[in-house]
Structure 1
Amino acid sequence: MDKSRDDYIARQRLRLGTGQVSRRGFVMSALAAGIALPTAIGWADAARAQAPSKGGLLRLGLGSGSTTDTLDPATYEGPVNTVLAYLYGNNLVEVDSSGKLVPELASEWASDDAATWVFKLRDGVEFHNGKTLTPEDVIASINHHRGEDSKSAVGGLVSQIKDIRADGKNVVFELSAPNADFPYVLSDYHLIILPASDGAIDATGGVGSGGYVLETYEPGVRIHATRFANYFKSDRAHFDAVELISIIDPTARQNAIMNGDVDAIDRVDPKTVSLLARVPTLDILERPSTLHYTFPMRVDAAPFDNYDLRMAVKLAVKRQELVDKILLGHGVVGNDHPISTANRYHAEIPQREFDPEQAAFHYKKSGHSGALQLSASDAAFSGAVDAAQLIAASASETGIEIEVVREPNDGYWSDVWNKKPWCVSYWSGRPTEDWMFSSGYTNDTEWNETAWRTGEAADRFNAIVVEARAELDDAKRRELYAEAQRLLADDGGALTPMFANHISAVSKGIGHGDDIASNWELDGAKAPERWWTAS
């Protein structure tokens, strides 16, 4: 079958599965495309069998969550909160399973100069409290993350918004400088739209417009939600109810899916992928991704305020060993910046390798002596403590002593990350370079985990992000982002040795589309909305 015909049949199968075309209509289309009648009928029956059906309970076992979590979207961190945001809330736009930006609460958007963006709101959207969506809800929800006093994790992302106002049913964003990628920013899970009253939202009220209504919220333990009868997406949110269960321990999470206590788990330990793949009731969903594991050194704290010490650490790591032993090959080496080969402007800069002589040279030049403390917990990712031990072992070959400090899983993200001078972290990555840089590396974001905000290199980096954001010439933009990646790899505080695949295990009793999103785990963190109980 040629590709064009193959694509046509695939589209018709999807339309049949979602009720957009009848069984007879599908068969006739297939016959017209030259498919034999028995084959066409078989395909029709298979597609109908896989069609979404309403009902059932989806239980997700998630390797994240803390008792210190809150319902305030400004504080969200980790996969459990990403799923939570998309469970009960919606954004103006969303990234679909193919990575394309598509309408959600906004039906369309446009800009003539990339500095003024107009979003037209969709009609007929209702919040769980019965309120109808208005531009005022959008304005109040976005403003919740803005302002000098804001502690929002996406403060850096929204700092580019100079003004936001209503124009009839439209919402108009005025940016401080042009940004061709700005609509992508509005799909961030922190920026869900909540109902407003008197110009403000109830950030911890848990009321949204999403497919499910929150019934029980036990942070770090369990979240229970039921289907919203008036959800504006009639072809989504198929389950009667959804439960998000925090199961931090990888072995406990694995046992839960094998015993049928949950229907899907995220963050499958690479060491157990082959074991779970042999379980006849389970499917393994694996996708290359922008997910990367980092060991951020805070440059505002001694001894990591020393360039030569940071460079010594970066040169003292056997990156391929980490990919082989921690990821078991389910990923690729990183180069101390957050832009993966999946990103549009990934730069081909020389790969940093283990170099004991240069590591020793920079370490001696730094003047440091004594052990470096590296705080680690598997709350960051499965195998994080083992990865820290491997880094300590390779560093010892260069004369650098590293003491791995095992931190408790619970409270790790509130008590250790973004506080201790050197720790273990991870990022799911972002679809665009500007989004990634603005989330974790620019001088105005709360999540700048390396505190790399000042100095000649940092100043140049921050200027580049602003310049590239407004640059519409693709070649020039590529050059700017390449320079930004080089600056981070050289002077920045992040040791980023590996990019990991997203690996999930799903019960065969759960149906899902053929295209599984790779922007977040569990189908772009939208499994509760996109999946269904298989018939």
Structure 2
Amino acid sequence: MTAHRRRKVTLITALAMSVSLTGLSACSTGASSDPAAAAATSAPKSGGDMRVGIVGGSSKDTLDAHAPVTHPDEARAIQLYDTLASYDNDHKIQLALTDAITPSTDAKTWTVHLRAGLKFSDGKPITAEDVVFTFKRITDPKSPMAGATALSTLDRDALKASDAQTVVFSFTSPYATFPDTVAQYTAGIVPVGYDPQKPVSSGPFMVDSFTPGQQSVFVKNPNYWRAGQPYLDKVTIIDFPDDTARVNALLGGQVDAIDQLPLGQVNVVKANPAMKVLESATGSWLPFTMRVDQAPFDDPKVREAFRLIVDRKQMVDQVLGGHGTIGNDMYGPFDACFPSDAAQRQQNIEKARQLLAEAGKSNLSVDLVTSPAAAGLVEAAQVFAEQAKAAGVTVNVKKVDPGEFYGDQYLKWSFSQDFWFTRDYLPQTAASGLPGAPYNETHWNDKEWTDLVTKAQATTDATARCGLIKQANKIEFDRGGYIIWGFPNSVDAYSSAVQGLTPDKSGIPLTSFGFRNAWLNK
């Protein structure tokens, strides 16, 4: 990207959306979204092959732009497909494939204008028809994709390309947070007739080879719209379900970077002059998930008891080694509407015992399914099991590999865990909370809560919307199916030969901007 290219954002500022785009009207395309130059020790250098070890992966890995499940899936999607908008390193909305996103006064209609000269990796122009195809594919009622729930009020019949660069999105009710929705990595733009087995790319890289559960090789997209990027000729993403193997691969020089460095290895890597640690404060979270439609968690007293069992500080200190912040059973900490003034829930074993007795569940025994699908999951399960003993609860930790964890039983476990990257509140509800959400792992279906969230999505006044979001947060805090004990920092590691990496609040700094910003000095 070059400093002389400017992007224009046309917005009605009176909407006061949850994430405003008005501040981008005078931004250079090479400013806040690409801080690599400021973090680098040398000028960007083109060429080279960067090998990256990513946690997790299984035989069910996919290249589908709109159906990522595992962490490597998400890494691949971000490299292959750009979105209409995106987030910068501070989790602020910025434009991507668009140069204008314009709402109607009632926020029921949004007009998106594509940048000039955009091309897919095969050289074909990226047009408004491709955008229409993308969002009709995501919202296909016969096969809804991961982002479909967030677009449930989209009038698919009215979705149209008014010219080659302009798309008009019409909604059946006001949709104040549209820019958030089109900034999600599950909304990558694909061409008309898209084949996920032979994907054509709109992102910085394109597929060279792909072996599910093992590795994927990407090469530079010669038609990428950001001038000069990516710097690398090739990126190889290697799946590493095992933490030790991933760290050893970095230390042994088999890879140039790894994500989710085990916290016990931070000092080891820092002591190596050939290595660097990249740490980012994030809104990522590793919840315990309780199915509210299955015993014993269909009783809200049991769910409250389990939340009171947790010593959150011990969790952060022991599981994260202090590399994170304490949670309060509410997600979206960077959301402008996050109830940061809410009283912090503390461990209360006596109250937990009382609630379990009232529910007729004293001396309860439960299975907790965990997996090394993300750093800290297994450790958190083990710490929780120890903490639960004081309340008379026996927690049987059942460790499975990531392939089984995200296999046929995914979203069916009664008591389990998961990992989520940074999202604001309403986009997160569309992913994991609303009825019909693709990853509703707690089987949450609360009418009062759903009505509040639905109303918040349609509320253009920021103050009123925040009030609704805080009410919805309170309901989940009181009777939801999540235990959110903390927000882990993202701790990655890389060879000192890698340049251009910078902290990122997304929770995925290595893969969000990292690959297209990075270059090698070797």
Q: Which runs of 5 or more structure 2 residues have no equivalent in the other structure?
A: 1-26
Q: Does 1:378 align with 2:375?
A: no
Q: 1:166: which partner in 2? A: 161
Residue 491 (1) aligns with residue 485 (2): no
The 8 Å contact of residues 518 and 524 in structure 1, kept in 2 or not, is answered as no
Does the residue aligned with 1:367 lie in a helix, a strand or coil? coil
Which residue identity lines up with residue 218 of structure 1 in the other structure?
T
Residues 1:344 and 2:351 aligned together: no
Structural mapping, 1:382-421, within 5 Å: 382-421=375-414
Correspondence for 2:196: 203
Deviation by residue 1:2-25 (Cα, 9 ceiling, x = unmatched): xxxxxxxxx99x88xx9xxxxxxx
* Structure 1 residue 149: Cα displacement: 2.9
Is 1:521 equivalent to 2:508 in the alignment?
yes
Amino acid paired to 1:438: A
Query: Which residue number corresponds to residue 277 of structure 2?
Result: 284
Between the aligned partners of 1:213 and 1:428, the Cα distance in structure 2 is 24
| 1:530 maps to which of 490, 512, 517 | 517
Q: Report the CA distance between 1:476 and its aligned residue.
A: 2.1
AA matched with 2:455: E
Alignment partner of 1:254 is 2:241: no
Contact 2:86 2:94 in 1 (8 A): yes
Cα shift at 1:64: 2.2
Output the CA distance in 2 between the equivalents of 1:71 and 1:436: 22
| Secondary structure, aligned partner of 1:296 | strand
Q: Percent identity?
A: 28
Give the counterpart of 1:442 among 425, 430, 434: 434
In structure 2, what is the Cα distance between the partners aligned to 1:420 and 1:383?
A: 19
Q: Distance in 1 between matches of 2:40 and 2:430?
A: 44
Task: Note if 1:306 corresponds to 2:265.
Answer: no
AA in 2 matched with 1:377 = S
- The whole-number CA distance in structure 2 between the counterparts of 1:245 and 1:316 is 38
Which residue in 2 is equivalent to 1:459? 447
Instruction: Name the stretch that deviates more: 163-172 or 401-410.
Output: 401-410
Q: What's the offset of the Cα at 1:48?
A: 9.5
Separation in structure 2 between the aligned mates of residue 85 and residue 306 of structure 1, nearest angstrom: 38
Shift of 1:130: 2.9
| 1:177 and 2:173 are equivalent in the alignment | yes
- Give the deviation of 1:151 after TM superposition: 4.2
| Structure 2 Cα separation of the partners of residues 461 and 96 of structure 1 | 30
- The answer as to whether partners of 1:221 and 1:246 remain within 8 angstroms in 2 is yes
Contact between 2:276 and 2:494, CA under 8 Å: does it hold in 1?
yes
User: Which of residues 418, 424, 429 in structure 1 aligns to 2:422?
Assistant: 429
- 1:469-484 map, 5 Å: 469-484=457-472
> Structure 1 unaligned runs (5+)?
1-10, 19-43
1:65 matched to 2:57: yes
Structure 2 Cα separation of the partners of residues 131 and 290 of structure 1: 37
Deviates more, 1:321-330 or 1:345-354: 345-354
Q: Match for 2:288: what amino acid?
A: F
Aligned-CA RMSD value? 2.2
**Structure 1 Cα separation of the partners of residues 93 and 263 of structure 2:** 30
Mapped to 2, the partners of 1:74 and 1:445 lie a distance apart of: 14
Map 1:16-415 onto structure 2 (within 5 A).
50-113=42-105, 114-163=107-156, 164-168=159-163, 169-197=165-193, 201-340=194-333, 342-347=334-339, 348-368=341-361, 370-379=364-373, 381-415=374-408
Count of residue pairs brought into register by the alignment: 485
Q: 1: CA distance between counterparts of 2:40 and 2:295? A: 62
The equivalent residue for 1:26 is: none
The amino acid of 1:533's aligned partner reads L
Partner of 2:3: none
Letter in 1 for 2:336: R
One-letter code aligned to 1:479: G
Q: Which amino acid aligns with 2:418?
A: S
Asked whether the equivalents of residues 282 and 504 of structure 2 are also in contact (C-alpha less than 8 Å), the reply is no
Aligned to 2:15: none
Instruction: Quote the Cα distance in structure 2 between the aligned partners of 1:60 and 1:105.
Output: 26
Asked whether 1:512 is paired with 2:512, we answer no
| Contact 1:503 1:521 survives alignment (8 Å) | no
Tell me the secondary structure at the aligned position of residue 285 of structure 1.
strand
Distance in structure 2 (CA, Å) of the matches to 1:477 and 1:265 = 39
What is the CA distance between 1:49 and its match in structure 2? 6.0
Against the structure 1 CA distance between its residues 425 and 135, is the aligned structure 2 distance closer, same or farther, given a 3 Å change threshold?
same
Task: Using structure 2 for the length normalisation, give the TM-score.
Answer: 0.88
Is the Cα contact below 8 Å between 1:292 and 1:428 reproduced in 2? Answer: yes
Contact 1:288/1:501 (8 A) holds in 2: yes
1:155 Cα deviation after fit: 2.1
Q: Deviations over 1:173-211 (max 9, x none)?
A: 1122222221121121111111113xxx32332212222
1:161 partner SS:
coil
Aligned to 2:20: none
Q: Aligned partners of 2:141 and 2:128: how far apart in 1?
A: 23
Structure 2 CA distance, aligned partners of 1:191 and 1:203?
A: 14
- For the 8 Å contact 1:227–1:241, the answer to whether it is kept is yes
Distance 2:489 2:394 in 1: 30
Per the normalisation by structure 1, the TM-score is 0.86
Offset, 1:474: 2.7
CA contact 2:41–2:499 (8 Å) conserved in 1: no
